[in-house]
Structure 1
Amino acid sequence: MYFENTGIENTVIDLNLLDDLMKKNGLVRAGQWDYERVTYDKKFEIKEGTFYLRVFGFTKDGDVGAHDANITLLKPAIGKHYYPHGVEYGEGEVFPNHLLKSCEQTLATLKTDLASFKINA
């Protein structure tokens, strides 16, 4: 499930600064990147299962591996993890209201943090 109109979509920000702001909000990039794309995750282990809030981004002309990129953020998503298959985002998934509220709070705080540093692209 995608979160609509969060206010972070299309934000452009330096990768190194983004890494710091995401970490501050509990989202980690870890090994989830290639040279043009990044994914930040916040893991939720609750009684209903394991879920991930994911924020995706890409660079048009930078190099993520070299830490030299401006990242454009995309719509965030929430997915449920199924071992060993991975994360599912489908319409048939059920996401508890308390989880969605927590994700929305994280995204609202992130929006505020990003507003001070975004690059006008």
Structure 2
Amino acid sequence: MRIENTGIDGLVMDLKPLDKITGQHAFIRAGQWDYERVTYDYKIGSNEKNITYYIRVQGYATSGDVDRRDAVIKLLTPLLGKHYYPHGIEYGEEENFPESLVERAQTLLTNLANELKPLAQEKGN
């Protein structure tokens, strides 16, 4: 499920401060990157058997290289996903998400965006 209107979609910023701020908000990049893309995940446990939710923020390098940590990253619209163990994460609009979870995701992402915006560059391609 796409989480719209958080202020994150389209932000462009240097990788180092992006890593720092997302980490401070418990959005973890870990090994989820390649030379041109990054993915930050926020894990939310569930009382449902074998279910975990993830808020995912993805981005791609408009210049530089993620591996060299000199990339400039453009962020995409965040996603809310449901992980079905052992099958993987589903992000489809047909997924059922509790309203309280959607509201929590919106709040977490808006708070993250508010800290990212002062360091962001002009929105670009």
Range class of TM-score, shorter chain? over 0.9
1:67 aligns with 2:69: yes
Cα distance in 2, alignment partners of residues 60 and 13 from structure 1: 10
Q: Retained in 1: the 8 A contact 2:63–2:73?
A: no
Q: Residue 100 of structure 1 is aligned with which of 90, 99, 102?
A: 102
The SS at the match of 1:84 is coil
Which residue does the alignment assign to 1:40? 40
Deviation at 1:5? 2.0
**Which amino acid in 1 is paired with 2:5?**
N
**Which amino acid in 2 is paired with 1:72?**
K
Count of equivalent residues: 121
Identical positions, percent: 49
Deviation at 1:19? 0.4
Q: Retained in 1: the 8 A contact 2:41–2:54?
A: yes
Which residue does the alignment assign to 1:11? 11
TM-score by length of 1: 0.95
TM-score by length of 2: 0.92
Q: Which runs of 5+ in 1 are unaligned?
A: none
Deviation at 1:91? 2.4
Cα distance in 1, alignment partners of residues 23 and 13 from structure 2: 15
Cα distance in 1, alignment partners of residues 41 and 99 from structure 2: 19
Q: Give the ranges of 4+ consecutive aligned residues of structure 1 lying more than 2 Å apart after TM superposition.
A: none
Cα distance in 1, alignment partners of residues 93 and 12 from structure 2: 29
Cα distance in 1, alignment partners of residues 93 and 10 from structure 2: 24
The SS at the match of 1:105 is helix
Which residue does the alignment assign to 1:76? 78
Q: Which runs of 5+ in 2 are unaligned?
A: none
